[in-house]
Structure 1
Amino acid sequence: MDDKEGGTSESGPSHHWGDLTHECLVNILSRVSLEDRWRGAMVVCKPWLHACKEPCLNSVFDLETRFDSSTELPRYWTPEFERKIDAMLLSVVAWSDGSLTEIRVRHCSNRSLSLVSERCPNLQVLSIKSSPHVTDEVVAKIASGCPNLRELDISYCYEISHESMALIGRHCPKLQVFRRNLMNWLDPSQHHGIVPGEYLDACPQDGDADATAIGKFMPHLLHLELRFSKLTAKGLVLISEGCSDLEYLDLSGCANVTSRDIANASSSLKNLKTIKRPNFYIPRSVFHVERYGHWRLYDERFQTDAFRI
């Protein structure tokens, strides 16, 4: 018989994908990328949508690969985009049923992270870069609700202060990776037309307060990034004294510390394998000769030898 008459073919009986057992669907979807599940599988039929909501398929939510690592787009900074990210994160948190261990997103807000703090006790990795509306209020909830954090990235989140860092350090003793990078305030032109001007102007000023919280409350850090932080030699010493296990330290763009400051502070970091110094990413064009006198002084100071969502 042909397919029209008997529903068979040379290869055997035909089957409808929607007739697969739930267990079989989950097994198949576990081999499909996050993007393909959201863009394709979820809209096939109700059984597929139901399978996509299984907790075992929602233990990791990683959107970071969908953002261009080198640039941001103006639409990312709009309320509409933020609501979209929040809606996706809220859905995943609900579907995960407490199994969520890794979240990597951008441009989320307190709305979605509040639910994370309540329903993700096993969370180990939280990366929320470029989230202008995430505040100390919700980070305090994260600190108490997600004590198993081992990696946290709050880069470009300017409404998060050193007070939240202290709480994270107190309540999350397993923290080993911490990123608190700021935008390039030495040459902000690269952000103009993309990041709202008022947000650029809100760049945190007290890098030593951040350093105090890190040095005092995050003693087990192995990896620390503080690009374009405004910390001084005092703050750097506090970090080196309090985080003696550091293996990786990124101080790119930290214009307020000298090569001598770094040498003095890092001498006590016996496990340090990699250190990125302030001259990284600092364009000479942003420094004025009249301010530093001549390039020799500059060299002494900065050691310049060298999915669509």
Structure 2
Amino acid sequence: MDDKEGGSESGPSHDWADLTHECLVNVLSHISLEDRWRGAMLVCKSWLRACREPCFNTVFDLETRFDSATELPRHWTPEFERKIDSMLQSVVLWSDGSLTEIRVRHCSNRSLSLVAESCPNLQVLSIKSSPHVTDEIMAKIASGCPKLRELDVSYCYEISHESLALIGRHCSSLRIFRRNLMNWLDPSQHIRIVPSEYLDACPQDGDSDATAIGKFMPNLLHLELRFSKLTSKGLVLISEGCLNLEYLDLSGCANLTSRDIVNASSYLKNLKTIKKPNFYIPRSVYHAERYGLWRLYDERFQTDVFRI
């Protein structure tokens, strides 16, 4: 069979661009999000049109991509942020209101403004490491996405306790909340990656966050506050207000003692997992002088850390 008859020695040829829209949608449903964005969308206009179907844009999850790669300095640049914003804005428009889950990093108010306006069915929002997301846009998210059941604003230092209160007031279905901070006790893992001025902007008042959580998020089941600077007062407020908690992560919370945690967790009858602040703290963090026998012990064994 020659080429004029539509075939070759290896078999009949096929023009995938001629597939019906319904067939294309069926084929594309079997490939990953990454394969659609990096391959299928670039084939031709008909493939791009199929990739824009709302059924492919109910979930936008880039978190697995970030988890599998090392954080890079370029991720914290305006150029990278604009790329993430552009992708998210496209997905929001293509979803036609059906978007229920967003897991990205390094987005900004530009894209989240469209999310707040166009995603009333959103249930999951994870925007870790987004330095330019502010209280202003989180207020719009709170009113525009009342069905939120999971929210992650870890490493978003422009989001304050005011946003947490608004989210709690408007999103009564919230069950999972993550407000983790970067490791300020040992920032070496972030140096030369995260801008130093951003590391210095780490929120200082963990008890304000704790007050908002305890007062306005009573239905939480899962709470993460790694490296928060909350004190025993804030932890008690959370324990008294979030009685249904099953999972609590307090890793790196240097202002809490074992006694604080025991006293506060006595309120939490449903608690199944608690991660305590069990770590070494460099003495230089506190610049504390130690006296008497402790000084003799230091000189003899040359210790430079102590354990909480």
What's the TM-score once normalised by structure 1's chain length? 0.91
Change (3 A) 1:147 1:188: same
Change (3 A) 1:111 1:11: same
Shift of 1:68: 3.7
Give the match for residue 228 of structure 1: 227
- Local SS of the residue matching 2:227: coil
Shift of 1:143: 0.2
Give the match for residue 196 of structure 1: 195
Contact 2:220 2:242 in 1 (8 A): yes
Contact 1:186 1:286 in 2 (8 A): no
Change (3 A) 1:40 1:70: closer
Change (3 A) 1:292 1:162: farther
Contact 2:55 2:95 in 1 (8 A): yes
Q: Percent identity?
A: 79
Change (3 A) 1:57 1:284: same
Change (3 A) 1:199 1:90: same
Question: Alpha-carbon deviations, 1:217-248, whole Å to 9, x = none?
Answer: 00010000000000000000000000001010
Change (3 A) 1:291 1:25: farther
Give the match for residue 128 of structure 1: 127
- Local SS of the residue matching 1:237: helix
Change (3 A) 1:228 1:278: same
Shift of 1:185: 0.8
Give the match for residue 162 of structure 2: 163
Give the match for residue 307 of structure 1: none
Q: How does 1:176-255 map to 2 (within 5 A)?
A: 176-255=175-254
Contact 2:281 2:306 in 1 (8 A): no
Contact 1:117 1:141 in 2 (8 A): yes
Shift of 1:108: 0.3
Give the match for residue 143 of structure 2: 144
Shift of 1:182: 0.3
Change (3 A) 1:32 1:186: same
Question: Alpha-carbon deviations, 1:32-90, whole Å to 9, x = none?
Answer: 11111001000101100000000000000001111146842100000000000000000
RMSD: 2.1
AA aligned opposite 1:91: S
Question: Alpha-carbon deviations, 1:134-183, whole Å to 9, x = none?
Answer: 00000000000000000000000000000000000000000000000001
Contact 2:214 2:242 in 1 (8 A): yes
| Number of residue pairs the alignment of both structures matches | 298
AA aligned opposite 1:62: D
Give the match for residue 301 of structure 2: none
CA distance in 2, matches of 1:42, 1:70: 23
Shift of 1:5: 3.4
In the alignment, structure 1 segments of 5+ residues that lack a partner are 303-309
Shift of 1:14: 3.7
What's the TM-score once normalised by structure 2's chain length? 0.92
AA aligned opposite 2:253: C
In the alignment, structure 2 segments of 5+ residues that lack a partner are 299-304
Give the match for residue 22 of structure 2: 23
Shift of 1:289: 8.6
AA aligned opposite 2:105: R
Q: How does 1:1-309 map to 2 (within 5 A)?
A: 2-8=1-7, 14-68=13-67, 71-280=70-279, 282-284=280-282, 290-291=288-289, 294=294, 298-299=306-307, 302=308
Moved segments of 4+, more than 3 Å: 8-14, 68-71, 282-299
AA aligned opposite 1:133: H
- Local SS of the residue matching 2:71: coil
Change (3 A) 1:288 1:204: closer
Contact 1:108 1:133 in 2 (8 A): yes
Shift of 1:19: 1.0
CA distance in 1, matches of 2:69, 2:263: 33
Change (3 A) 1:142 1:291: farther
Contact 2:185 2:282 in 1 (8 A): no
